[in-house]
Amino acid sequence: MEHKTVRVAIYARVSTEEQAEHGYSIDAQLDTLRNYCKMYGKTVYGEYVDRGVSGKSVEGRYELQRLLRDVETGEIDEVIVWKMNRLARKTIDLLKMVDHFSKYKVAFRSFTENFETETAMGKFALQMLAAVGELERNTIVDNVKMGLKQRARTGNYNGGLVLGYRSLATGDKRSKGSSLEIVPEEAAIVRKIFELYASGKGLRAIANQLNHEGNKTKLGNPFSTTAVKEIVTNPLYAGIIRYNRFENWNERRRKGKNPDPIIVEGKHEPIIPKELWEKVQVLHNEKSKVNPRVFDGQYLLTGLIRCPECGAPMVANRTKNRLKNGTFIIRRYYSCSNFRNKGSAVCHANSVGADYAEQYVLDRIREVISEPRILQDLLETINHRKSNTIGPLKQEWQSIETKLAAIDEKRKKYFALYEEDAIDREMFVTRIDQLSDESEALLQRKAEINHELGAENDEPITAEYIQGVLQQFDSLIQLATLEQKKSLLRLMIKEIHINEKREITSIVMTFDEQSQTLFLGVDPSAMQAEGSSFLSKEKVHLFRAPNRFTIIL
């Protein structure tokens, strides 16, 4: 019986911090795994390398996403990594990926933790080692958090950019940024903000004044209402350390608000006196008690329409006008978010009527469905754009391959010159480092192109498919509840453009694999149930779909 050669996919990853602090090397991982394959007579099908990327999630790891797609082709027999945490740091993520491999009869190997996942004991070992690895990581995280909390309790600052101060390195690398020094020109802006708020000015008025005067935030951006609010509610400026305001920020964001944060006297010099701080807090608390304006959420296109002046998303706005007969009428608009948050120094309202915009979008979709001529023009545009997108990407990919080959030749040349003592060690190391940096940048771009090409499909889209997609979308919209309509529109519509006359000029709709599977495959009759969730309903087959395509109406 002929022996089948095992086709192996090598996956390697290193984050920027790991490479800097621990000396992990992509080249070392790859060399080790290549030698392993050579030793056991296995063929390397492909190498998938994510450079400078964290292992916390799949997002941004383009080469891992390409690997998960390629596993489905049936051309890979085994996936190997240098260490399990190169693939995933969380046990649940690792097990999901290994289960995905198993679904397509692909084995998983870790060079360092040597076991096989095909057997029951191998799977058990995988689960145990993954759990132990996650426990070790969580223990380290908890110890770091404990140390930071203790530092905060003693009045030390734990780092982070803040207007009015600069962070100073004190001690080793891990304690860098724990000491604060006042930046006079920034402190003047902070004092102005507190004094303006104490005089009765609101957040938006203060942001508008600061922007008109040319002031910038710590990151060099115009001031927004949120930026001003963060300053007037930050006790750091009154000499107080506040720490652990939010718990598990990466997972929960502002939902993880801690009811009992650490608040102690700080060791740094305050920018404003305690009296001014207390006055501003009293005013802020009083304003916070004011009943919020009535908002019934009847805005379907919030964040989808783009400002014709600055390109920022447009947000909900309304006006209440008294008629001659004494009654009031409420008019709904979408206005520039930059204007709403940062004032007229940054942009203008550029308001567009909400009733007009929402009706236009729905009518335009139905018009395209019912008019064969419009549909044909749309089809030609889509297929032309697809061919124009994929072609240049393939050319850029080939150009990168040529440049990488040239860098490899240069690297060999410098090694030869160094061995012949034609150049000194300092020049050799400098040039090799420069070539490595160039190579890393090209390889990162190559991974991005691979991701884009993998999501595209160069087969032409048919008119029947587009019509089917839009008809299904229209049917769902007509039967959907308000919240379902919002979800559908945000899932399908990428952005809506208007001109200076506040007229809609184009609607950009993007349909990817997830949206087509989860939403456009829903039977519209399933939407009729009150409060039903169309994500959980039985799917109906439309047509064989491309991975992703964009329609501009």
What residues contact residue 179 under an 8 Å CB cut-off, 6+ apart? Answer: 156, 157, 167, 168, 169, 170, 267, 268
The residue written with tokens 């000015």 in the block is 201
Torsion region of 270: left, alpha or beta (phi above 0 gives left; psi -120 to 50 gives alpha): beta
Q: How many CB atoms lie within 10 A of CB 464?
A: 12
Q: Which two tokens stand for residue 365?
A: 């979709």
CB of 162 closer than 8 Å to CB of 218: yes
Query: What are the CA-CA distances from residue 78 to residues 35, 72, 262 (Å)?
Result: 15, 12, 50
- If DSSP codes are grouped into helix, strand and coil, which group holds residue 395? helix
Torsion region of 455: left, alpha or beta (phi above 0 gives left; psi -120 to 50 gives alpha): alpha
Query: What are the CA-CA distances from residue 212 to residues 22, 87, 88, 341, 527 (Å)?
Result: 47, 49, 48, 13, 50
Dihedral sign (CA 383, 389, 393, 396) = positive
User: What is the signed CA dihedral for 34, 39, 40, 43, rounded to 10 degrees?
Assistant: 40
The residue written with tokens 């007037």 in the block is 232
Torsion region of 130: left, alpha or beta (phi above 0 gives left; psi -120 to 50 gives alpha): alpha
* Catalytic residue flag (residue 506): no
Nearest C-alpha neighbor of 209 from the set 218, 219, 199: 199
- If DSSP codes are grouped into helix, strand and coil, which group holds residue 79? strand
CA pair distance 110, 114, nearest whole angstrom: 6
Q: Name the β-bridge partners of 78.
A: 8, 107
CB of 458 closer than 8 Å to CB of 266: no
Q: How many CB atoms lie within 10 A of CB 181?
A: 10
CA pair distance 203, 167, nearest whole angstrom: 27
List 15, 25, 57, 175, catalytic entry: 15
CA pair distance 17, 25, nearest whole angstrom: 12
Nearest C-alpha neighbor of 14 from the set 38, 33, 30, 37: 30
CB of 208 closer than 8 Å to CB of 293: no
Catalytic residues: 15
